[in-house]
Amino acid sequence: MLSTHDGTVPGSGWLGGDAGVSAGPAAPRLFCFAHAGGGASAYRPWRLSLAPDVDVRPVVLPGRESRIRELPYRRVEQIIDPLCEALEPYLDRPYAVFGHSLGSILAYEVARRFTGLAGREPGLLIVSGRRAARLPARRRPYSTLSDDEFLGAVGALGGTPPELLEEGQLLRLILPTLRADFELNETYRTLPGPRLRCPVAAYMGTADPEVDRAGLLAWGEETAGEFTMRVFAGGHFYLKDDADGVRSALRQDLARVMRSEFTR
């Protein structure tokens, strides 16, 4: 039986990780939000390769992985309060927030929620594979399509293994969460809140059908801080296509920004 959103999941239930992987006591944290349907497993390679210099903490939303029996959220305004409440105990050291595709808007709203709060403000926001939060969508909604059309559209983005799309029983299990994630993304409008003050870095793939350079550059208008943009080889899921380049960029961006955080 699926559980409802009753707020009973402790903060640790929102954060994934790997046993035996630890970061140094001075390592900055990097909270990571995945694409639609994704979870902690999307960032396992980062958690392994960036330790012990960076404490990578993937966020696990309801409806997937260890939270598969929970109902997924369909609106950003419903998820942001319990999400931020769960993350707050982990903001005890300098941190950055990363989000890819759908994850970008969640990372953005989390960063805004903690902006201006002493000792809670992020040192860096990294957004990836999505147009700026305030820009209207360029494509028709996927969440309202029939199952066959929906799965075809999602498969074309390249992030879902073909064998998964062909596995009927498993597909039926994840389809409601996948649809809910797309609905959450497609119905999103920016929430009331302050303009960011932290630096923002925006990433994209050269052949991403979901975002162009103009749409990515518009993220710079969301902050009073520094803005940088990086373009990697690959499509919407360039994170896998150019994994080494992405990890190198992450280290550079985190080192530059977090160095100033530790010396404040």
CA 223 to chain centre: 18
Contacts of the segment 154-163: beta carbons below 8 A, 24+ positions apart: 154/36, 154/37, 154/178, 154/182, 157/209, 157/210, 157/235, 157/236, 157/237, 158/235, 158/236, 158/237, 159/35, 159/37, 159/38, 159/236, 159/237, 160/37
Among 47, 3, 33, 174, residue whose Cα is nearest residue 101:
33
SS3 206: coil
Tell me, yes or no, if 101 is annotated catalytic.
Answer: yes
Place of tokens 């296509």: 241
CB-based burial label for 219 (10 Å; 0-12, 13-18, 19+) = buried
Q: From the candidates 3, 22, 66, 101, which is the catalytic residue?
A: 101
Among 145, 123, 146, 97, residue whose Cα is nearest residue 262:
123
Distance CA 22, CA 106 (A): 25
Distance CA 99, CA 31 (A): 8
Name the residues annotated as catalytic: 101
